[in-house]
Amino acid sequence: MSPAQSEPAQREVTLGRIVGVFGVKGWVKVKSYTEPADGILDYGAWHLVGPGAARATVRPLEGRRHGTLVVARLEGVSDRDAAAALAHRDIAVPRAELPQPGRGQYYWADLEGLEVVTTEGAVLGRVDHFVETPANPVMVVRGERERWLPLVPKHLKSVDLDAGRVVVDWDPEF
């Protein structure tokens, strides 16, 4: 089992990022990675992590969609300066708090660290991270070199979380 799979219940998953302030009463703008976007408001405690700042836990009190973003009022944050201090921090929750994915569905966080092999058995490396592109998500695989594989059914053939393996239909020379 890969290190990424060792303690899934204790890991945290990033669900969004505070990208700025909204108004003068301490509301924040959030780029949510959940679907639907305002689903991020359903989590009772957000663990904020980010560069140059101490880890903090905040609770969303209310919020709503605002264009492509979500705006939220957080417990203990009542003015623009306090909200600005939280900007550029990721919002994470324990993996155990996420609903179970449906059959054939996977959280990207559960795939990170898994070995990636071709349908012919050639090892390409391990899933490092994912990139959202306009056409489709891309799985970034790092091995002897970095590969960007489109995350589409044509290429993604199977996922075995217990074995720590993703099988793809991909030319190892590409």
* Residues 6+ positions from 2 with CB-CB distance below 8 Å: 113, 114, 115, 126, 164
Give domain 3-96's CATH superfamily.
Answer: RimM (2.40.30.60)
Domains 3-96 and 108-168 share a fold: no
In tens, the pLDDT along 1-53 reads 334 444 444 688 999 999 999 999 999 999 999 989 999 999 999 999 987 78
Angstrom distance (rounded) from CA 39 to CA 68: 13
Report angle CA 125, 129, 131 to the nearest 5 degrees: 120
Q: Any idea where the domains of the chain sit in the sequence?
A: 3-96, 108-168
Q: pTM for this one?
A: 0.76
Q: Domain 108-168 in CATH: superfamily?
A: PRC-barrel domain (2.30.30.240)
Residues 93-120 pLDDT 10s: 999 999 888 888 888 889 999 999 999 9
Q: Alpha-carbon distance 118 to 133, whole Å?
A: 23
